Chain A
């Protein structure tokens, strides 16, 4: 799939922001006073900025309100509802905590659940697609939630738990990559079923329907060279997990903490780039994709 910058920015930033909001809602990060204000501002900037950048992906952003109508069937519509309610509940919670000094734990708990629910809905938009076997698996929402929780823990400055969660996430990510690499071949869809001609012999694309590209080939038939993918996976692991954990294990300081967060965010962005770029859409079989 085409790794669109707006989608990468959206899922990286909103994942971190919603993870931090969940921590704030659960009272696991400071919610009162100036520190609270800084934390809330950061969380809302990340989550809100991410959601805005997702609107840039739309052909008609001015009609975005219509996306709230189909929550019964559409994960994208559910995501829109969850995102707006999460931000609204957390804004109320933040206003009460900072302006009036009243912390309402049930409200925060609800906001935390809605924040993580938004991350889950985002992941389900991808996981529901049988057309992209690499995504069509429970590990997709699990991984998105794991990233949000680990990122939120890191942002809220829990050194020990963050180091443990980041280490665990690096193992989970490696496992997900390895399992994902085999999923297209295991899906049962290939050029033989795509054309229905598999029973007659070996099928290959003889001539594409046109000499140039089209919307489908631009959006869905993206290919990364394997050696680049391996390098990028190593870079993602280093930036998202190894470097932040190393910084966390050093004597704690604000500069190091900020560097750990920046490195983690950059690593997650690389991981999200790979999440799209490595995902194989079955329509590729009509355009000459072969199983590895």
Chain B
């Protein structure tokens, strides 16, 4: 049924650190790679070498610029995949039951054999987390790498989502957000993790950690004694020699 479970035993999800992400898109590629070679229909590209390439991705990295009233602008790289919402509107609109939320761990999935490709769930998601596959014409979305996290044939260190495993800066964390003692829950509490578009009422499980304040100028900076501005070493010699000519 595409009615939502009243509660889920666990709330598996991601915590994404906007302070650490450097916008390298490694998670985008790892996600595309894993999900093209594993569960479900491969994530296709259409017109890949043509004028208008288009393809299905389950995770994308946007970049935003934040301009505070005073001080320098800051670039924030912003990875975005399905937030595995507690009140997932994408699930309840589905006419076929293809979209569902698992009661045991809260993962939102699509049963591709039941999907008629109506696209309504993608309309219902405020975050743009669902994309129809251009070749298979079924709805694709982040599976939270359900075929890795429970996969006994993988070495234990690989039993986490591909995007988390690959991130070179450790900006993506995976865990159970229903357990207040889990590493991800403590991270959210310590760093002030927040929801995206809380007013949409989706109650997302995934949380985002804000960028830390940095690059602020010392207010007393203009009063500090000037540093020696004369060049030293080779440049200093060059400078002095050129002065003499």
Contact = CB atoms under 8 A, between A and B. Distances in A.
A120 to B, nearest CB: 16
Given A60-B138, A214-B54, A76 B210 contact: no
A197 B126 contact: no
A213 interface: yes
Contacts of A201: 66-69, 73-74
B49 interface: no
A127 to B, nearest CB: 12
A189 B2 contact: no
A59 B67 contact: no
Interface in B197-216: 197-201, 208, 210-211
Given A77-B95, A208-B62, A60 B137 contact: yes
B95 A76 contact: yes
Interface stretch (B86-94, B142-150, B160-168, B225-233): B86-94
5 A-B pairs with least C-beta separation: A59-B117, A59-B137, A201-B68, A209-B60, A77-B95
B122 A203 contact: no
Contact of B210 (A131, A196, A207): A196
A76 B118 contact: yes
A218 to B, nearest CB: 7
A131 B65 contact: no
Contacts of A212: 52-54
Interface string A199-212: 01111111111101
A131 B120 contact: no
A206 B115 CA distance: 35
Given A60-B116, A61-B116, 10 more contacts: A66-B97, A67-B118, A70-B95, A73-B91, A73-B92, A202-B66, A203-B65, A214-B55, A214-B56, A219-B123
Nearest to A216: B128
A131 B114 contact: no
Interface stretch (B75-83, B181-189, B234-242): B75-83
A270 B114 CA distance: 34
B61 interface: yes
Interface in B140-197: 194-197
B97 A69 contact: yes
Contacts of B66: 197, 200-203
Q: Which of A1, A66, A204 is packed against the most chain B CB atoms within 10 Å?
A: A66
Interface string A116-147: 00000000010011111000000000000000
A287 B63 CA distance: 10
Nearest to B47: A212
Given A57-B118, A200-B68, A74 B94 contact: yes
Contact of B97 (A61, A70, A128, A219): A70
Contacts of B60: 209-210, 214
A21 interface: no
A58 interface: yes
B3 interface: yes
A187 B197 CA distance: 11
A56 to B, nearest CB: 11
A75 interface: yes
Contacts of A226: none
B127 A76 contact: no
B119 interface: yes
A63 B62 contact: no
A282 interface: yes
A80 B120 CA distance: 14
A289 to B, nearest CB: 12
Nearest to B23: A207
B196 A193 contact: yes
Contact of A132 (B94, B123, B194): B123
Interface in A36-84: 57-61, 63-64, 66-70, 72-77, 80
